[in-house]
């Protein structure tokens, strides 16, 4: 099972981190060992002093595919949720400054939160849904999938040019603006529309 992540897919988030708008999707991978186990807290790693939350719409691939045409991409997933791509921002900044890959800042153990999976048929149009992250009962990220630079279907098509998609693969579709640090004692809740998809404690 692969975890395929997309960076810089919302303009406001690109601007808040002072990054350049990409001419094509920014792709990186996470191992399955990065998945936070169910009902476990997220422990801030000892190698970072600045771990940020990044909530994202996620989709689960349901069939094998390669070189998928965008018009057929909707057939390759039927379950969706939201998740967190935890990022050790200080580590990431240091790696980027050296022109090195990001994985040590994003793919460490526990860095990937997966919400409960629900059928995309619950929504009129998954390309136009709202998702939110609450930190200590305050909304800190409020995203709309219609604001993606590249839609879910476009992302599936794009990544399938490079990687054969297999059943169970997960795609993180990018985070909206509002990313910020977490601290021990924080409580995080992720919502897709009005349904709670995950709840975790930070330690």
Q: Give the chain's domain count.
A: 1
Expressed as residue numbers, the domain containing 24 is 3-201
Phi then psi dihedrals of residue 124, to 5 deg: -60, -40
Q: Provide the 3-class DSSP secondary structure of residue 34.
A: helix
Is the distance from CB of 143 to CB of 175 less than 8 angstroms?
yes
Tokens coding 168: 């169970």
Q: Is the pTM of this model over 0.75?
A: yes
The pLDDT tens digits for 122-176 are 999 998 999 999 999 999 999 999 999 999 999 999 999 999 999 999 999 999 9
- Where residue 71 sits, what CATH number does that domain have? 3.90.850.10
Question: Residue range 170-184: average pLDDT?
Answer: 96
DSSP labels, 115-128:
---EEGGGSS-GGG
Distance CA 90, CA 26 (A): 20
87, pLDDT greater than 70: yes
Query: Look-up: residue for tokens 């990022």?
Result: 87
19, pLDDT greater than 70: no
């Amino acid at each position: 099972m692969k975890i395929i992540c997309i960076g810089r897919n919302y303009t406001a988030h690109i601007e808040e981190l002072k990054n350049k708008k990409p001419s094509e999707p920014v792709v990186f991978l996470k191992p399955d060992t990065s998945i936070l186990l169910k009902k476990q807290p997220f422990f801030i790693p000892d190698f970072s002093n600045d771990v940020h939350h990044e909530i994202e719409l996620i989709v689960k691939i349901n069939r094998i595919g390669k070189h998928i045409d965008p018009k057929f991409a909707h057939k390759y997933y039927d379950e969706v949720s939201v998740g967190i791509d935890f990022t050790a921002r200080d580590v990431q900044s240091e790696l980027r400054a050296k022109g090195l890959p990001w994985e040590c800042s994003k793919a460490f153990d526990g860095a990937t939160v997966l919400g409960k999976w629900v059928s995309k048929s619950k929504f009129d149009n998954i390309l136009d849904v709202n998702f939110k992250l609450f930190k200590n009962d305050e909304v800190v990220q409020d995203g709309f999938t219609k604001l993606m630079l590249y839609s879910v279907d476009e992302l599936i098509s794009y990544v399938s040019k490079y990687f054969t998609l297999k059943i169970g693969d997960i795609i993180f579709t990018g985070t909206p603006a509002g990313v910020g640090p977490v601290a021990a004692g924080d409580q995080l809740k992720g919502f897709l529309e009005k349904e709670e998809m995950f709840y975790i404690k930070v330690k």
